[in-house]
Chain A
């Protein structure tokens, strides 16, 4: 038996050491930044899917809202992180609250379809924002300022900031799932009728979880806009929501660091396969199918079985 913190410590340790061990070049760091940002969103999605049993296919919408908040404020001359990030998080949370209020009244496949529909609604809205580049997207000429400084442009600082946020989100997510609130969420996933018979109404619990995941997605989106210095509607496309869902499943449901592992594996695989051949999707696609079919516990299951 591995120590229960062995795997998460290894993942976060590797991310902490990577820049010192030959991954300090600009390209490697942006790759890792992308993985950590997607990991941040995937942790939130993992709380929803693995914890609450809410399989959302519209999670990229919260990313998009966070990202567009950054460019809209930038266009309006507001680049102070103390304003930009709270607005991005709040906007994504409000979107999740409003759409979740409708979506959570449904269950199962209907929930998947309705979250997909809301996601597409956000996508087409973004594509029609001609002031922000429409389909072509919008280039951010400078990153958000932290306390009036350009610290976020420093790749090393940005790397460790992302890592700190990722660890924080992981810890908070774990606490949440183990708390009274999380216990009710997990019980709803197992048997909603039983939970009602105990005296709980599932709706407010699920809606709050959905809103919190949306808020975390908004933060990740705002960071993504800063990492790529560019925002486009493709950030919100349903394929991105599918990618996020796949990261969660690839890493392994049930434990939040699975989502981080999944995001890392996904981004690195995508990158290195693309280097190998221009037809990398021909390999990537079937690989995903195989993982879904045969790797029941995801990558975590694989690691822990070995342990």
Chain B
């Protein structure tokens, strides 16, 4: 199995009296999809913020690729190979689809303090960006403005941007949010294809997708992990069923 790519140890965060993250520990192994599920208000988004670096934990630590990143800001973690996608799509609407991905490639290849040569003519950036677009099926939309994409296509672009960063770990914050049934099917197919090449921490509402994709699942309720296991174990767990899944599952 090897060393975990991402390891959270005793992560704790409170807003005033409200404990949104309580002693959360979990790992993501290379090539594994570890999904985090939980009802609304369970603290999933706060957890994503702490892992990505937009929010500092009160206690506990985050290790990424064997390194303590607990106090590193978002941009530093991204440079180490931690790519996050956003729950609310955050593509650059005024940029073309290609330029969105090319900017992500640019972040990982050489200095961006270059002032004269047109970035759009750099073949090395464009080729890697097109490759990322192809892997999510957006290669035909390269010249379209990102603001003109359909919702599902934006979700695909969001993934392509994360891939274009050539990351080691993908932190996907509800990548299926707001997608219709057909779009969901396509996105799940894309995610399944990414498995094994990256470690993925997947925070997602769509149960069917989570149970189809995940190697392991952690269930978050009121900021606490009440169970971690394979999809089969989670499905069979009485506490999870009571707290979250309901009888129809």
Contacts and interface: CB of A to CB of B under 8 A. Distances in A.
Interface stretch (A61-69, A122-130, A180-188): A180-188
Contact of B107 (A181, A193, A198): A198
Interface string B224-246: 00000000000000000000000
B84 A178 contact: no
A78 interface: no
A24 B135 CA distance: 62
Contacts of A205: 112
A200 interface: yes
Interface in B101-132: 102-104, 106-108, 111-120, 122
B120 to A, nearest CB: 7
Interface string B89-104: 0111111000100111
* Chain B CB within 10 A, most for which of A182, A183, A184, A186: A183
Given A183-B106, A199-B107, A175 B54 contact: no
Contact of A198 (B111, B113, B119, B161): B161
Contact of A194 (B73, B90, B118, B122): B90
A201 interface: yes
Given A181-B112, A187-B92, A193-B54, A198 B165 contact: yes
B95 to A, nearest CB: 7
A187 B94 CA distance: 9
A276 to B, nearest CB: 40
Interface in A55-76: none
Interface residues of B, number: 37
B75 interface: yes
B86 interface: yes
A179 interface: yes
A198 to B, nearest CB: 4
Contacts of B161: 198
Contact of B120 (A176, A178, A194): A178
Contacts of B165: 198-199
Contacts of A179: 114-119
A191 interface: yes
B78 A194 contact: no
Interface string B71-88: 001111011000110100
Contact of A201 (B75, B95, B103): B75
Nearest to A199: B78
* Chain B CB within 10 A, most for which of A178, A187, A198: A198
Interface in A173-232: 175-176, 178-184, 186-187, 190-191, 193-201, 205, 208
Nearest to B102: A183
Interface in A138-185: 175-176, 178-184
Given A179-B114, A186-B94, A187-B103, A196 B78 contact: yes
Nearest to A212: B115
B21 interface: no
Nearest to B79: A199
Interface of B: 52, 54, 73-76, 78-79, 83-84, 86, 90-95, 99, 102-104, 106-108, 111-120, 122, 161, 165
5 contacts: A180-B113, A181-B115, A187-B92, A193-B90, A194-B92
